[in-house]
Amino acid sequence: MKILIINGPNLNLLGKREPEIYGQETLTDLESWLAATSEASSHDIEWFQSNHEGKIIDRIHEAMENADGIIINPGAFTHYSYAIRDAIASVNIPTVEVHLSDIENREAFRKVSVIKDVCIDQIKGLGKIGYLEGLKTLINQE
């Protein structure tokens, strides 16, 4: 499978941003860790990160041509980006929403995901393991 992993705003600051919540590992560390798993070894995985909503939407649209599944950690866009929600719904690619922290046990505004209903699953609070679980979910869709 060809899997696109999209990370939204501020995820480029992993390892520096609130390490008590998000951990010490960087996004590059997470990418390397996932690539080394047996589940990832037989699949083509592309990573994309942007702090800009429009760039994320453009990349979701491009995925229609080259992805069998999407894992997305939309960051703060989770809570209010109907545009990203509509992009996911429009491309008809199985998508898993992933969050490093448990958004349901954080601030009130983080409990709402406008993305969740257009995804085949939502994984939260497992740290980097959430990305692996998202990958397994997509693999099992085949």
Cα–Cα distance measured from residue 81 to residue 86, given in angstroms and rounded to the nearest whole number? 9
99 catalytically annotated: yes
Of 22, 79, 80, 82, the catalytic one is: 22
Per DSSP, the three-state class of 44 is: strand
Give me the helix-helix angle, 129-139 and 27-35, nearest 10°: 40
Of 61, 79, 99, 131, the catalytic one is: 99
Exposure letters 27-63 (e unless 16+ CB within 10 A, then b): beebbeebeeeeebeeeebebbbbbebeebbebbeeb
Per DSSP, the three-state class of 34 is: helix
61 catalytically annotated: no
Cα–Cα distance measured from residue 94 to residue 104, given in angstroms and rounded to the nearest whole number? 23
Q: Which residues are catalytic?
A: 22, 99
